[in-house]
Amino acid sequence: MSAIVTLTVYVVPSRMVVLDANSRPIHGGVLRSLTQGDSLTLYCIASGGRPPPEVSWWKGSKLLSNRSVAVGEDGTLLASHEEGDDVVHTVGVGVGVRYVRTILLIPTLTRDYAHANITCRASNNNITEPLSTTLYLELYTRPASAVIKPPGEPLVEGRQTRLECVASGAYPSATINWEKTKEGRSTLLEATSLRLGEVTSSWLTLVPEASDHGATLTCRAHNPNIPGQATTTSTALQITFAPRVTLRLGYNLETRPVTEGEDVFFECKVASNPPPTTTRWYKDGVEVVHDLRGGVLVSGHNLVLQMVRRTSAGNYTCAATNTLATSSSNTMTLTIKYLPVCEGGPQTVTVAEGEDVRLTCRVDAKPEDDLRFTWYFNNTLDTVEVERHRIQVRKGFSFLDYTPRSSRDYGILSCWATNTVGTQADPCQFTVLEAGPPERVEDCELVNHTGGTLEVVCSPGGDGGLPQWFVGRVYDASTHTLLDTLEESHPRFQVSGLTPGQDYLITITAINQKGASQPEEIDAIRLKVAEKRMGEVSSGGVSPLVGVFLGLVGGFVGLLLLGVSLTLLRTYRCRCLQLGESRGGEGVVGDVVGPSSPTTKTGPTTPTHHSQADPRAGPDVLISANSDRVSASSSTPRVRVVSSYCDDPDDDDTTQSRALTALWPSRMSSSV
């Protein structure tokens, strides 16, 4: 019995080598300097082995490539196996297989290959372990992400804050740069970073400015081993700040001056976060309000002045308010060109013949640097232009030295000014009058006349065209002796230290540089002391109770005197008759008419009589009409009155009362 045994002997591959794309062998098992995104080409060559081995590339358990070719010993291609094919294509016939080569082609290296191991295996049986070699891929990768973390609180102008950017996924770890882009210009910012594995954190310390609002802040993370490629993230800065206000004129007015009568447009540009709540306008510090009739139109950020006048010129500002603060704009000065206008009204100038006077024509004008002046003289006969060589011109005014030589040189001088806008509408006028002494004062009166003081007030007359002053002179009316001289700028004089009871004469004279007026006289001013005292008593304010009391006392005294008088008359009736017949009424004894006797005294109520009034008597003595009548009469009628009383055979009370009544008025008058 026999058996046939088929013996299959496998000869495993004896050698394996890995070549790069340039057919250079790779040593050390590390494939360095690979960059994410690059392509990778490797060749794995296995030699020896029978049958020819199958050579393939693996990444872990994932087949990457088994595209292989077999090369004979004479270098001829024996067979090739394409990836995905189940058939080996025979290319030629050779004595034996020299080697089998398999290519690995990766068009783009992704981050999946970072830190990856790839293996080339050669196997021709399933009994033995395949021959293999493993390569470590050192792949540089870009950051997978970069994120700017939002701040914990809003960004406020001037308040320091800290921002953080985190980048991850880069090998080696990424480098982070901060960049701020504003108005198309980029600025690198300094920051601190910390690398931990594939994660890099960077912190930026920022003090925001109002101008940073809306700027772009960029965090750029890149692998320094991969030039030109970076991962970026950006955010728009939102800065909270007080209003930033800018004032400007309308575009059509910025390059030329404004003339009176034009419309002017202002624009208030406001940058603010949060937006402004109010916008206000100011001229020279005073708020400008909407006034349609006045041609002032206020509308938010715009101000329109219609038909501007010279009074519209000034310094304009606008102010905006938000929740943080109120901010004012720059000051814009509005200058308005206008026709010259005379400063001050018409003037009157007085000058004598042959004297010089300088007439200054001052005008308000914009512009005033190139003013031209023209002077005209006008009187009742003609109008002539003043020669230009006599006119002096300065900035803003002109003056003329004028000298009248005759009466025809008195009249009106007119001055006209012209600037680039035009000629003034109304000229400056100077009325030249001939100077002379002032007129006399008038309407003089005493406004205060008490004691030794008086006050005189007059109305001034014409001043003669020159400043005038006033001189008052006080004279003794009887001797015309000058007692005092007073000088005042107005015709009002107060004279003191006068003697009561004396007559005075006062003269008031107006004086200027050309002479004096005729004096105004005030005659025979007498101060009476009695008037003064009566005035003092009347001004004292006597109580009504005092008057009642005095009336009662007077009535009681009167009744008492009446009783005493009746008693005396009865007692001395006969004696009175005898004495009256024997003495003939030589005197008055006591309170009755009778002869003088050593035992008879004059009482305090005895009247003192004067034959005539004393012209030198002071006002303290009041001479009544009754006392004058009694004093002027002789003693005979008095005796006659008493004799008739004593001769009354009836001797009754009625007759006695009539006699007393006849005597009472004289006694009362002389006792005042």
210: Cβ contacts below 8 Å, ≥ 6 apart: 157, 239, 241, 242, 244, 271
Q: Band the pLDDT of 458: cuts 50, 70, 90.
A: very high
Residue 643 has pLDDT above 60, yes or no: no
pLDDT of residue 627: 35
Q: What is the DSSP string of 242-294?
A: EEEEEEEE-GGGTTS-EETT--EEEEEEEEEESPPSEEEEEETTEEE--BTTT
pLDDT of residue 556: 74
Nearest to 474 by CA among 516, 504, 515: 504
pLDDT of residue 92: 39
Residue 450 has pLDDT above 90, yes or no: no
Task: Say how far apart CA 271 and CA 244 lie, in whole Å.
Answer: 5
Nearest to 331 by CA among 316, 313, 312, 314: 316
Contact 167, 200 (CB under 8 A): yes
For the chain, give the mean pLDDT: 78
The pTM (predicted TM-score) of the whole model is 0.46
- Mind listing the pLDDT tens digit for each residue in 242-263? 999 999 987 666 667 788 888 9
511: Cβ contacts below 8 Å, ≥ 6 apart: 437, 438, 468, 469, 470, 471, 517
Mean pLDDT of 466-483: 90
Q: Given the structure tokens 């925001």, which residue do they identify?
A: 208
pLDDT greater at residue 542 or residue 236 = 236
Q: Band the pLDDT of 93: cuts 50, 70, 90.
A: very low
Nearest to 309 by CA among 340, 285, 338: 338
Task: Say how far apart CA 427 and CA 520 lie, in whole Å.
Answer: 41
pLDDT of residue 155: 92
Spell out the SS3 assignment of 322-342. Answer: CCCCEEECCCEEECEEEEEEE
- Mind listing the pLDDT tens digit for each residue in 26-56? 988 898 889 998 999 999 999 888 888 889 9
Mean pLDDT of 382-398: 90
pLDDT of residue 135: 94
Lookup: tokens for 407: 């009466």
- Mind listing the pLDDT tens digit for each residue in 123-151? 988 888 899 999 999 999 999 999 999 88
pLDDT of residue 544: 53
pLDDT of residue 554: 76
**Cis amide bond preceding 274, omega within 30:** yes
Please give the share of the chain, as a percent, with pLDDT higher than 90: 43
Contact 81, 60 (CB under 8 A): no
Mean pLDDT of 420-449: 89
Which region among 63-77, 175-189, 204-218, 531-545 has the lowest average model confidence (pLDDT)? 531-545
Mean pLDDT of 494-519: 88
Residue 504 has pLDDT above 60, yes or no: yes
Q: What are the counts of helices (DSSP H) followed by strands (DSSP E) for the chain?
A: 6, 49
pLDDT of residue 613: 36
Q: Band the pLDDT of 672: cuts 50, 70, 90.
A: very low
Among the residues of 479-633, which ranges form H helices?
A: 529-538, 544-571, 573-583, 625-632
